[in-house]
Amino acid sequence: MQQRVKEVMGASVALDCDAELMLRVKDGDGASFGLLLGKYRASVNHFLYRMVQDQAISEELAQEVFLRVYRSRETYEPTAKFTTWLYRIATHLALNWLRDQKNERSQQRLDETSDDAPAREVADRSPSVEQRLLHQVNVKEVRQAVAALPDKQRAAVLMHKYDEMEYSQIAKVLSCSESAVKSLLFRAYETLRVRLAHMA
Amino acid sequence: MDCPIKTQENTDWLLDYAAGRLRGERAAQFARHVETCGDCAGFVKAQSVVWNALDQWEPEAVSMDFDRRLYRSIEEARPSSGFPGILSRLFHPLQPLWRPVVPLAAACLLIVAGIMLHAPQAVISPADAAGRVEKIEPEQVERTLDDMQMLRELAVTPEPGENPSKSM
């Protein structure tokens, strides 16, 4: 199987063990799919949560991501890193969802969920609660600042910041050039620097 | 080194330096530049604020039943198990071969059905059948009667020199 991966990816590309696992899934090994799920369950869920900012929806989208991975096993070819392929599916689903949900109702729901958590904490007056309240206010501001970014900028920032992806990999996920990714990120962080400057 | 802000080149170095991802000689070179460049120092400071703010945003834990729901969806998407499932697995490698045959076979069936419907049929009506029976029956009766008469005549007429009682 390693030979097969090398043939497809070429000698210059390092052997991606996730791609190897995926080739095993292709050959009918369900346990390898379980390993991939265990390895990327959290990161895919967190990426989608930060993209759509709704826990239930992000989990539904994550389910769809892994379902698509499983369904595509027979046609899978390791032409790129497994994570690039995985995040391309996740980003595609998230961007589609965001495109479909750009209406007043989704914004209202976001505001409601954001306001819920601090309201529940008001009864308790201990100092730690104040700290938690402050933290929640900060998180709310961060969420709103990230949510205000254009969808592609948001995806690029999340992959760069939380998944520590290289510019080249983000470019492959977003199907654009590396210089375009650098430009996206520079503009996105510029917006965030202005919006979050008071948190210094 | 040239200032990335002034030249608008290698601006990714600024982001990487603020994130602590710039390594080796490049990181040392950039650190020396930041000490002397107010613009870059200001940029790095502001970017660090963003970085720390983003760090505060922890996502919620994934549901405990995430895997169970996923495997259920996978099971539901699978073709049904049992005999049809086994058949489909057995013939799965042949699917690309027999798939084009199905529409061809359907077309052939339609053509054959069309020919059968429009071809002249040898239909025998009840009246014709009765006429044929009527035509056959008297001939048979007549022939039978002739045969019986011939036998009777043979039995009645004795051979010369033979005892007639023997022949009966």
Model pLDDT for residues B126-147, shown as the tens digit of each residue: 656 555 555 556 778 788 888 8
Rounded CA-CA distance A107/A112 in Å is: 9
Q: A-chain residues within 8 Å CB-CB of B45?
A: 200
Task: Show me where the domains of chain B are located.
Answer: 4-55
Task: Report the CATH number that the domain containing residue A22 is assigned in CATH.
Answer: 1.10.1740.10
B64 CB within 8 Å of a chain A CB: no
Of A154, A192, A195, which to mutate for an interface test with B (greatest number of B Cβ within 10 Å)?
Answer: A192
At residue B166, the pLDDT reads: 43
Alpha carbons B141 and B146: distance in angstroms, whole number: 9
Please give the tally of structural domains in chain A.
1
Query: Taking Cα atoms as reference points, which of A123, A120, A68, A115 lies closest to residue A91?
Result: A68
Which residue does chain B place closest to A42, by CA atoms? B62
Using the beta-carbon criterion (under 8 Å), do B47 and A49 form an inter-chain contact? no
Q: Does residue A33 sit within a domain?
A: yes
Do A177 and B4 contact (CB within 8 A), yes or no? Answer: no
Across the interface, whether the CB atoms of B57 and A46 are under 8 A apart is answered no
Question: What ipTM was reported for this prediction?
Answer: 0.80
Share of residues in chain A with pLDDT > 70 (%) = 80
- Searching chain B, which residue's CA lies closest to the CA of residue A56? B63
Portion of chain B with pLDDT greater than 70, in percent: 67
What is the rounded CA–CA span in Å between residue A50 and residue B7? 33
Q: Rounded to the nearest 5°, which phi and psi values hold at A122?
A: -60, -35
Are B12 and A167 within 8 A, CB to CB? yes
pTM metric for this prediction = 0.68
Measure the CA–CA gap between B36 and B163, rounded to whole angstroms.
Answer: 160
Asked if residue B14 lies in contact with residue B40, where contact means CB atoms within 8 angstroms, the answer is yes
Segment holding A23, helix H or strand E: helix A17-26
Per residue in A148-172, pLDDT tens?
Answer: 999 999 999 999 999 999 999 999 9
pLDDT higher than 70, residue A13:
no
Question: Would the pLDDT of B79 be above 70?
Answer: no
Listed range (A50-59, A157-166, B26-35) with the worst mean pLDDT = B26-35
**A121 has pLDDT over 50:** no
Decide if A190 is inside a domain.
no
For the range A168-173, what are the long-range contacts, defined as Cβ-Cβ under 8 Å and sequence gap of 24 or more? A169/A81, A169/A83, A169/A84, A172/A80, A172/A81, A172/A84, A172/A88, A173/A84, A173/A87, A173/A88, A173/A91
Q: Is residue A42, in this structure, part of any structural domain at all?
A: yes
pLDDT for the residue numbered A112: 62
3-class secondary-structure state, position A130: helix
For residue B6, what pLDDT is reported?
79
Q: How confident is the model at residue A117 (pLDDT cuts 50, 70, 90)?
A: very low
B5 touches chain A (CB under 8 A): no
B90's enclosing H/E stretch is helix B83-90
- A70, A36 in Cβ contact below 8 A? no
**pLDDT of B111 higher than 70:** yes
What single-letter amino acid sits at A74?
E
Which pair of structure tokens corresponds to residue A111?
Answer: 């505001």
Residue A40: pLDDT band with limits 50, 70, 90: very high
The verdict on residue A147 lying in a domain is no
Q: Give the domain extent around A18.
A: 1-102
Range with the poorest average pLDDT among A113-117, A132-136, A171-175: A113-117
Residue among B54, B55, B65 with most chain A CBs within 10 A, to mutate: B54
B144 touches chain A (CB under 8 A): no
